[in-house]
Structure formats: structure tokens, C-alpha cells
Structure 1
Amino acid sequence: MSRLSSATLATLPADVARPRYDRGAVRCGVVHLGIGAFHRAHQAVVLEQALNAGDLRWGIVAASLRSPGVRDQMAPQDGLYTMLVRDGVADRAQVIGAVQQVIVAPEEPDALLAALASPDTHIVTLTVTEKGYKLDPATGALIESDPQLAADLASLDKPQTAPGYLVAALARRRAAGLPPFTAISCDNLPHNGRRLRGAVLALAQRHDPALAEWIAARGAFPETMVDRIVPATTAEDVAALGALLGVEDQAMVKTEPFLQWVIEDQFCGPRPDFGPGVQVTAAVAPWEEAKLRLLNGAHSGIAYLGGLAGIDHVHEVLALPEARSFVDRLWDEAETTLSPPDELDVAAYRRDLMARFDNPTLRHRTRQIAMDGSQKLPQRLLATIAARLEAGQGIDALSLAVAAWIRWQAGRDDQGLAHQVDDPLAPQIATALAGGDSAAARVDAMLRFEAVVPPALAGQGAFRDALTGWLEVLEARGALAALADLAEGRF
């Protein structure tokens, strides 16, 4: 079967949407660090809207900071790929052409620096996951012991980290008399713009204090909140799309109809007319907080409890009445900690979230969501728990989700089947847990991880007791029994 490419676009079925602009006339106003499925189903789609509307300044140079996988998928396809939107009733296919070039940073660091320093570049977006910022989740300080960051602290000739590339490129722009770009974090981090700015300024300060002052005075790091469920693509997905299109697309992404991008109104240069799905606002934090504590918090709980029960997909977990009860209970607890903007109807948001979780065609894997839990839990669950305890409120559902994360670290589910614990702290956590001879001891070991659990929360007896109680249930009787206990009020 032929590959999707510029040459095969005309052969696609008539109902497949495709670029309505001349790709050869596009200028690349955006550099994206961390090209993966989420970017291709979210930010790139928004920029495709701008290009289709006739503003050809917003093509994308995308970069992988690690592996050549996405480049090798997209290069034979001239950067084209298909977004398959699945709503549970029908599929809608759209070929996206916004990505003009994919660079593998370790292979071509100079090419990435040149793109970042180009006069055409006005915006840099990032989806590098929490660990890509090289920041301690608890303190926000640079993790100077990280080998890649240590290399960037020593020299920025060939950067190895996202902050390193930004600082090196901003230095080039300053030397060339160009303005800085707007740097937009699109990762699920609380205060992601502030954190990205802090990482960039801290690294710049170590190399050139005058550069740090210039970035602080003239640069822009808006806060953002992004939301779209993008499950991992499978070989079966690629085969099914090939049968639909008549060409093979190794770079396809599948997603849901919902797309949201809330961006703080803080830019230091041109920006596109973002169009549908994007809201530019003075305050992102209330939106971000609602998304992290409702959608992401529930997703983590579903992932660990469902994964322990041996259930592969989110919609399959939610088919269990006790799991739906758990999610509603977690949302009841989290909702009291929110300060939602006037435009957000929390009750309607919760209904929409449950409908999104129930979408059977997405096949969102619990193990995909379970990745990097040590980096995600502080903002998804632990901050909510701290707020509830400070208000003298209960944490039954929230603490069950955290206990399930601890149980997941053992590397075996309730049936005794082994799974990979995909987490940057996995070796340290495994060592700590191995030294515990009881659920209480294992909880104490986890509470000593200050990079995950803030000391003030770790010292809360109610939190320790709740985790210990739930971990005892999970270890003795499994995740389904714990969910039933919560639903029936036995905890």
C-alpha cells in the first residue's frame, strides 16, 4: 500500500478533509518541542485552522528531543498525517498539513537552534511531559543532579534539555537583535508558564546574567490549560485507517471531538487568530485547577485502580457501577477545592467528562495514563487532598486513588501479572517499598519522598491513616473490593 503523501492526497476519499492552502507558501512561525500524538491532535490542529483561514505564517517546525520515531513516521509522508475524530457513533478523518519539518534534536541540534532563532519564529510550544522541565515537582528548583541538565549547565553549545534549547536560542536572538519568542508550555503542570519561565531564567542566569535580565524583561511565558483525550495509536488503528483511506499512514492520531486550549493573554510578539476551541483569558489558573483536579485526578484514579484490576481501557472501568461511584465521589471531594470561573458550569463539566470517559471508540488504555505518576500526583491529587484536610474535610476517594498508585509500584496487578512501572522515580520507589514489612511501613516509605509528597502533607496523620487503611485493603483483597467498600460506605 502507498504511503500518505503530497502525491497521494488527491486519491483520498472525497469526505476526508485536507489542507485548503498552498503548503509551499507556508512560513514556520511556530517551533514545537516534544512532537507526539497529543501535539498532533491539539496544537497542530489549532494552527491548521489558522492556515486554512488564510494566515500562512503559522506552519510548524517540530522537534523530538529524544528519539527519531515520529520523524521516521512523518518524513516519508511529507509531514502529513491523519487525525481521526471518534465520537462513538461515526469517525471523521482530516489530513493535517501544518507540520512542515520534524527535527530529531540529538541528531541535528544546530538545525533546531537555527529554527528557534529564525526571524519567522514567533511562538515556541512545548509538550515534553512533566519530567522534561528538569524541575523538582515539590520545590520548582532545577534538578542539577540530572545528567542532561548538568551538561546544559556546563555548556549550551549542544543543548540536551528543553530549557537548554530555549536559553541557547534566546541568546542567539538577542545577539542578532531579534525579539524573544513567546514560550508556551502545553503540559499538565500547575502554573506551567511560571515554571517554564523559572527554569529558563535559572539556567540563563548561570550562563549570562544580562541574558536572564533581557528574557525576564522582554520574553513571555503565558500560563495555559490544554484538554483533549488522545489515546496511543495501535497497529490495528493504522491498518483500519489504511482500509478507509486506501493509503498507509504511520503517523495517524485518534482523538475525541472535544478540544480546549485556554491561554493567558501574555504574548511578546504576533499570534494567530486561534479560532474555535481556544480561549485567550486574563486568568488561566481557575480553568487549570478544575481540569487537573477533576479530569486528570479522576483519570489517575481510574488508571491505577483499573490497572490493578486487570482492566485495559477507561470505558471498561467506568462500566462498573462501583467505579462510576468512585469517580463521582472523587469529584464531590475535589469540587469543594475549586474556584471556577464564571464561564465554567462545573455540573455540566462533570457530565461532559463522564461522557468523554464513556466513549468506547477511543480505547484509552489505563497503562498509558498510569505513566509518570510521581510527576503527576502532586497536582492531580495531592494538592486537592491538602486543601480538603486544611478545610477539615474527608479524603476517602482521593486517598484511595493515591493508595492505588502506591500499590501499582509493586509491579504486579491483583491477578499477580507483572507490569512495567514507567516512572522516572521507579527504581528509588521500588527500593523504598522493598524495605517495608507492612502496609503502614510502605506508606511511611512513600511519604518520605519529598519530591512527590510535600512534607507538610506527609506529616498529616489523617492522610497517613487513610493511605494505610486503603493500602491494606488493596493488598489483601484487591482494587475491585476497595471500590466496593467505598461505594457501600464500609471505609
Structure 2
Amino acid sequence: MKQAIHFGGGNIGRGFIGELLVRSGYEVTFVDVAETLVDEINARHAYHIEVVGNEPKTIHVEHVKAINSNMNLEELLDAFVTADIVTTAIGPNILKFIAPNIAKGLARRVKKNEAPLNIIACENMVGGSTVLKNFVYEHLADDVKAKVDRCIGFPDAAVDRIVPIQHNEDPLLVKVEPFCEWDVDRTGVVGAEPQIEGLTWVDNLEAYIERKLFSVNTGHASIAYMAYLKGIEDIAAAMQDEEIVSFVRRVWAETSELLIEKYGFDREKHAAYIRTAEERFKNPHLSDAVTRVARGPKRKLGAKDRLVSPASQLIERGKKPEALATVIAAALRFDYADDPEAVEVQNYVKEHGLEKAITHFTEIPAGTELFDLILAKNAELKK
């Protein structure tokens, strides 16, 4: 069998990337530091995935094993020599911590095997593989870097699958939604593109990153902030509220116009993508607390993030993003006391006023069309 190394034995690793790799003929070695998890995988060499939704099903996944990188580093380094692909799903903040071991593994590999190898970071971030590559190169000797440049690819990826918060009696069981998407930039590949079921190789990854960000993430945030203002506690309940559903469809209408105009997405196919997103949020098995989805307003209000970026781009194209401006105003009113970022935003508003807060958190200049639109929408929300 082909050999895959996957960093991260958690729910995304087992319930998404690992399963697609096994389905595509790979034996998957999960790399983790959770001793109990590693031991359980090695005791069974298999686990189950439950797909939850209108058509539930159970998937049996086998041909798996695990390495504890804290206890069996030599085994991990040897695995790099024969690996056919390396993937990660560990969280953006952990990439720098696995980089030293990846660097050691690559140094051992290129001494013995110069066959092409691609390393794909499947993280909820932009340019994850490139970020990982930079961390790895910090730990490579110059002569090794030259070989790695020739043999090792770090193609960036965009991934999307909702894995709900869960507490299962079986420690290896993972519950996931039916939908999943894994897009990878073919321009970053070294050698032939690995053929993996469920993975789509694309020429313009930015288009797919923004499609996901401005559709799924923007929609999710929009539902959460508007639901919070109405006192609704979870996303599935919010999606039973006709006013909120109607509103998020207006948000999607705005972002859809931007994406279709900017990237040339087929209008009917994109409409189907939006309908799928709406059904995902209606799935009661995937419902999340409104306050958890809305958390981190400081980050979500960033100039390049899910709310301000599409609104700004629409303004540049001569369009008026009424719904997006409303969400931005609602995010600035998110005052959940248990969220440190929400507290920070509210304290800034109290101390400096809303107008300065808008520019401080969104980088939208005072007096611009979008700035004035947000102020107007805030006044409407007050009523």
C-alpha cells in the first residue's frame, strides 16, 4: 500500500483527511502526542466514523496506525523515508512545533530517497502549507535545503468540514457532517499530483479560499451575530427563524455577486453551493452555540476577514453591501462577557466611541461610504 503520514490524530484527522487517504489506497500513520489515543489506534488499527444528517451512515476505516512523536521519534523519521504523502490537521498554532521533526524527517529522506514528496497542511487558515514550509526551513541545513527544494512540495490547501463538539464513549469514534471539501493548489506540487478521492486540484486556490470564507464563514458569522441580538442560543434554532434565514440569504446574495464577478464561478453551481451551506447550518446534529460561533469579533472584523473584506470589495465595484454592513454593525455590538475579544471591543467602544472603534477594528476610514453605511445600520439595530 501507499504510505501516508498524517500529523494530528484528532477528530478532523480521523474524520476527514485520514478517511479520504485510506479510501484512496493509503495506509495512514497518525502522528500525535496523546499517548492514550496513539495506543488505542495501534491496538485496533481501525475506527468508525458516523456521518450525521438526513441520511446517517457509519464508515469503517482500517489500515491505520499511530506514532507518538515524543516517545518514538526514530520511527517517525524512518517513516519519512518511504512516505508517499504527508498531511497535517493540528491547528495553525501548532505548525511551528511539528516543524523541527518534519525537518529531521526530510533530512533523513533526501539522503536515501529523492522521489518527490508533497506535504499538505490541511488547516483552517490561508497558506498553511507555505507557513509550515517556512517553519521547516528554519531547521534545515543549507545543503539539505537544496535537495528539499528539488524533491519536496508544499502545496497550499483549503479544507471544509464541520465536526461537531462531541463526547463519545468510544474514544476513536468521530461524528461528522456529510459535506466535505478539500481543494489543493496544483502549482505547488512536486512530481505527479497524488490521486486522492475527495481532493480537487485547482489552478487558482485563492478563488476557492474566498468562496469558502465569504460563503460558509460569512454566513455562519452572520447567523450568529443576528441570532445573538435576538437572544437565540444555538445555530439550528436560529435557522428556524424566518427573519434570520431571510437575512442570511441577503448576505449570501451580496457575497455571491462578488465571487461570481471576481472569479467567474458558474452562477447555478454557486447557487447550489450556497443552498448546501444553508442545509449544513440547519442540520441539528451540527448545531453549535451562537456565542461560540460569534466569538472572536476582533478577528472576524479584520480588514481581510469574512465580513469587512467582501463588503470593501463590493464597495470598490460600485455596489452597496447593505446586509454585510448590518452584520459588521451587529458584530460591533456583540457583548458576550465570557469572550475576551468581545469584552475588548466593547471596552474600546465605551472609551472611544463607535466611530473610532469602527476604524480601529476594521481599518475602514472614517467618512467613507462603507463607514457611513455601518453607522446607519447600527442606528437601525438600536431601534
TM-score range, shorter chain: 0.7 to 0.9
**1:221 Cα deviation (Å)?**
2.1
Indicate the residue corresponding to 1:350 in structure 2: 274
SS in 2 for 1:171: helix
1:114-193 matched pairs, under 5 angstroms:
114=77, 118-132=80-94, 161-176=97-112, 178-179=114-115, 181-190=117-126, 192=127
Indicate the residue corresponding to 2:56 in structure 1: 91
Q: Is 2:362 the counterpart of 1:437?
A: no
SS in 1 for 2:184: strand
Instruction: Report the count of equivalent residues.
Output: 377
**1:299 Cα deviation (Å)?**
1.2
**1:129 Cα deviation (Å)?**
3.4
Over the aligned positions, Cα root-mean-square deviation in angstroms equals 3.6
Indicate the residue corresponding to 2:10 in structure 1: 36
**Percent identity of the aligned residues?**
22
C-alpha distance in 1 between matches for 2:228 and 2:310: 22
Structure ranking higher in strand proportion: 2
1:191-230 matched pairs, under 5 angstroms:
192=127, 196-198=129-131, 200-201=133-134, 204=137, 208-230=141-163
Which amino acid is the alignment partner of residue 293 of structure 2? I
**1:76 Cα deviation (Å)?**
7.9
Distance of aligned partners of 1:76 and 1:302 in 2 relative to their CA distance in 1, 3 Å threshold: farther
TM-score computed with the length of structure 1 as normaliser: 0.65
Indicate the residue corresponding to 2:255 in structure 1: 334
* Kept after mapping to 2: 8 A contact 1:38/1:230: yes
Per-residue CA distance 1:118-169 (angstroms, 9 max, x = gap): 2222222222334445xxxxxxxxxxxxxxxxxxxxxxxxxx5244444443
For structure 1, the residue ranges without an aligned partner over 5 or more in a row are: 1-25, 134-159, 239-247, 413-418, 478-491
Distance of aligned partners of 1:79 and 1:411 in 2 relative to their CA distance in 1, 3 Å threshold: farther
C-alpha distance in 2 between matches for 1:212 and 1:348: 44
Of structures 1 and 2, the one with the larger relative CO (CA 8 A, separation 6+) is 1
Per-residue CA distance 1:373-407 (angstroms, 9 max, x = gap): 55566342232122112113222222333344343
SS in 2 for 1:95: strand
Which amino acid is the alignment partner of residue 251 of structure 1? L
1:44-443 matched pairs, under 5 angstroms:
44-50=18-24, 55=25, 58-64=26-32, 68=34, 71=37, 74-75=40-41, 78-88=44-54, 90-101=55-66, 103=68, 105=69, 107-108=70-71, 110=73, 114=77, 118-132=80-94, 161-176=97-112, 178-179=114-115, 181-190=117-126, 192=127, 196-198=129-131, 200-201=133-134, 204=137, 208-234=141-167, 238=168, 248-265=169-186, 266-268=188-190, 273-275=195-197, 277-307=198-228, 309-338=230-259, 339-342=263-266, 345-370=269-294, 374=298, 378-408=304-334, 410-412=335-337, 419-421=338-340, 426=341, 430-431=343-344, 433-437=346-350, 441-442=353-354
Which amino acid is the alignment partner of residue 128 of structure 1? I
C-alpha distance in 2 between matches for 1:404 and 1:73: 46
For structure 2, the residue ranges without an aligned partner over 5 or more in a row are: none
Which amino acid is the alignment partner of residue 411 of structure 1? Y
Distance of aligned partners of 1:209 and 1:405 in 2 relative to their CA distance in 1, 3 Å threshold: farther
Q: Which moved more, 1:338-347 or 1:37-46?
A: 338-347
* Kept after mapping to 1: 8 A contact 2:41/2:172: no
* Kept after mapping to 2: 8 A contact 1:47/1:98: no
Which amino acid is the alignment partner of residue 204 of structure 1? Y
Per-residue CA distance 1:88-136 (angstroms, 9 max, x = gap): 2x42112222531153x5x448358526x62222222222334445xxx
